[in-house]
Homo-oligomer: A and B are copies of this chain.
């Protein structure tokens, strides 16, 4: 087995990827744009998700949707627009989202009487009440739940929505933070606090399982501090992923909303004792940000490394030939092999484009992060073999054609485990326990990663540390035993350690 060296031909997209060490942010953008996942759009802060990126999102959706349905949830669809007065009803919620809302004020354009072919907003078509493009749907959904819930028999109400969301972000980054993004938002209603908390935690676990089993990513599961909580929640649970520049990404959140929205929208139910009670709520969501997360966690200087269970193309077959006649023959053999693998539910493509050389194609599919590459030449055909290369390790070997589907299935699982193990090892190597603020600052500045430290539990201290170091408390892990100690910043008593990091 030998490692590939990237081809130096100038035409190769991959050769122009900025190395991570040189400029991590540019490396990330190069991967997204050059692999064909997404494009910038002409609309500020919005992106175009290209077919390759969307196929990845469809695979993510399919698995999550199955997991939501297996846990008893049903999909529904609620309006894109939130009347301004709805947003006002839950005070914390309003404050949290008011500053980043796209606001619809008019419902008609008209032709400009002074400039031919131009349109202007029709001043006579002003809305009585402005509509906000949903930054999240609690307000619209709880206003609807009011008419769906009468009695304890209507509970729990377990709803999920796949939708587009708009938050007017000032600084955007493809997939990780865009003005418009795609997500799912679960909204559930329950008869008791306990049941709602259990639901919020259950869905956090669904996200964690999805990350581990499908994204090949270990996640830190925990609860947010008050300062980092969702606007309108009593508790926000989260999964946090550490990526290769040592920063954390909040990859999913699940909120216990208490009775805040039930009170704001007056949603009550008749309990078993025939009394009126406010309903308990949760909401939870993950978004196209998951794609940014997996790129940052797994990619290398050759391009994407897609987790095999979600990769739109799991295997690419490249026929190798010296002449066009021979290429046709090899392409035919490649298509036969494709059919054999596809029959075993593998996602396979053949690239027999005569206009590009094999070396170019190798680099191209490395860039696109296809987990397994098969190169099939005349000699292979004679010998009943094929050259198999795996993207994660960039190694290759010659293997028999016989039994190839089974071999590839095992290999894909192996790649999955190996990606997960690599990410876990990285996280462990980049998790540092400190007892002094000096050490804290040094780690944040020089090494990055998670820094675990005692914290006095106050927002004041948390914000002071953020101000001075840019590091925030990502969460208090759920599975952590609270051990008392001394706050690294204030020197006051601390009940537990918090996990800090600089975050996206």
Contact = CB atoms under 8 A, between A and B. Distances in A.
A227 interface: no
A79 B119 contact: no
A53 B159 CA distance: 13
A50 interface: yes
Given A43-B83, A80-B164, A180-B81, A117 B101 contact: no
A64 interface: no
Nearest to A95: B111
Nearest to A178: B79
Contacts of A102: 81, 104, 106-107, 131
Nearest to A79: B46
Contacts of A198: none
Interface residues on A, range: 35 or more
B98 A108 contact: yes
Interface stretch (A84-92, A303-311, A390-398, A445-453): A84-92
Contacts of A153: 355
How many copies are assembled? 2
Interface string A168-197: 100000000000101000000000000000
A462 to B, nearest CB: 24
Interface of A is mostly: mixed
Given A103-B104, A159-B51, A78 B41 contact: yes
A387 interface: no
A81 B98 CA distance: 19
A322 interface: no
A110 interface: yes
Given A49-B76, A78-B48, A108-B98, A43 B140 contact: yes
Given A86-B42, A131-B43, A51 B80 contact: no
Nearest to A41: B79
Contacts of A84: 109, 119
A48 B78 CA distance: 5
A166 interface: yes
A449 to B, nearest CB: 33
Contacts of A46: 79-81
A234 interface: no
With a 10 A CB-CB cut-off, give which of A43, A111, A118 has the most chain B CB atoms. A43
A168 B107 contact: yes
29 contacts: A39-B144, A42-B83, A43-B79, A43-B82, A43-B131, A43-B140, A47-B79, A49-B77, A51-B75, A51-B76, A54-B74, A55-B74, A84-B109, A88-B118, A94-B119, A98-B108, A98-B119, A99-B109, A102-B131, A103-B105, A103-B107, A103-B108, A104-B133, A105-B121, A107-B168, A109-B130, A109-B132, A133-B133, A153-B355
Given A103-B106, A107-B168, 10 more contacts: A50-B76, A51-B74, A54-B75, A54-B77, A55-B75, A80-B133, A81-B102, A98-B111, A99-B108, A109-B130
Interface of A: 39, 41-43, 46-51, 53-55, 57-58, 74-84, 86-88, 91, 94-95, 98-111, 117-119, 121, 130-133, 140, 143-144, 147, 153, 159, 163-164, 166, 168, 180, 182, 355
Q: Which 7 A-B pairs have the closest CB atoms?
A: A51-B74, A46-B79, A49-B77, A98-B109, A107-B168, A103-B106, A43-B79
